[in-house]
């Protein structure tokens, strides 16, 4: 009997998705046993479904045994990405007066493939990880939104309300008569 031929393919995805691993199997006898493994996930059915929680470059294996007792196997890699916990950082609150400048930064797991999109009131959309010199001319509450994505299907967003106050005025009195 010919042993089953198993072909797995490298793939990439985002952490937290439901993944149905796929392998191409050529066999003259029906498959009687499956053993899938990837990171902490494993399965023994023809089509397991995994919630991908491990991250990084994970070894992906499938071992099969056909009804004649012949075995076949293959390995590949699955890259599981994550943005981590995202948020918006800004310089200290002493800058919260009309006309003063805010420096904003996107906080997430660093990766050169991350794409950033900022939605700023009174300003055009920006696409860099950090934005310096954002200022508002009048008091009020201004909402800043950040959208982050990467090529592996991860995307998330964060928002921050910035309170801008009237700049304090200084009045000088001449106390000499």
Q: What angle do CA 101, 84, 119 make, to 5 degrees?
A: 35
pTM of the predicted structure, to 2 decimals: 0.76
Return per-residue pLDDT of the chain as tens, 177 residues: 899 999 999 999 999 999 999 999 999 889 999 999 999 999 999 999 999 999 999 999 999 999 999 999 999 999 999 999 999 998 865 556 777 888 999 999 988 999 999 999 876 788 999 998 888 888 888 899 999 999 999 999 999 998 888 877 777 777 776
């Amino acid at each position: 009997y010919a042993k089953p031929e198993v072909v797995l393919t490298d793939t990439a995805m985002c952490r937290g998705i439901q993944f149905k691993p796929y392998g191409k199997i050529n066999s003259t006898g029906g498959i009687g046993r499956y053993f899938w493994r990837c990171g902490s996930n494993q399965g023994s059915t023809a089509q397991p479904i995994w919630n991908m929680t491990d991250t990084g470059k994970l070894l992906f294996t499938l071992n099969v045994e056909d009804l004649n007792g012949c075995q076949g196997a293959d390995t590949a890699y699955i890259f599981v990405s994550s943005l981590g916990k995202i948020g918006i950082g800004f310089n200290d609150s002493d800058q919260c007066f009309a006309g003063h400048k805010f420096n904003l930064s996107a906080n997430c797991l660093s990766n050169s493939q991350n794409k950033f999109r900022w939605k700023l009131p009174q300003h055009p959309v920006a696409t860099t990880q950090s934005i310096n010199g954002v200022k508002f001319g009048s008091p009020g509450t201004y909402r800043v939104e950040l959208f982050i994505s990467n090529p592996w299907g991860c995307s998330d967003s964060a928002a921050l309300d910035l309170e801008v106050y009237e700049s304090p005025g200084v009045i000088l009195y001449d106390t000499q008569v």
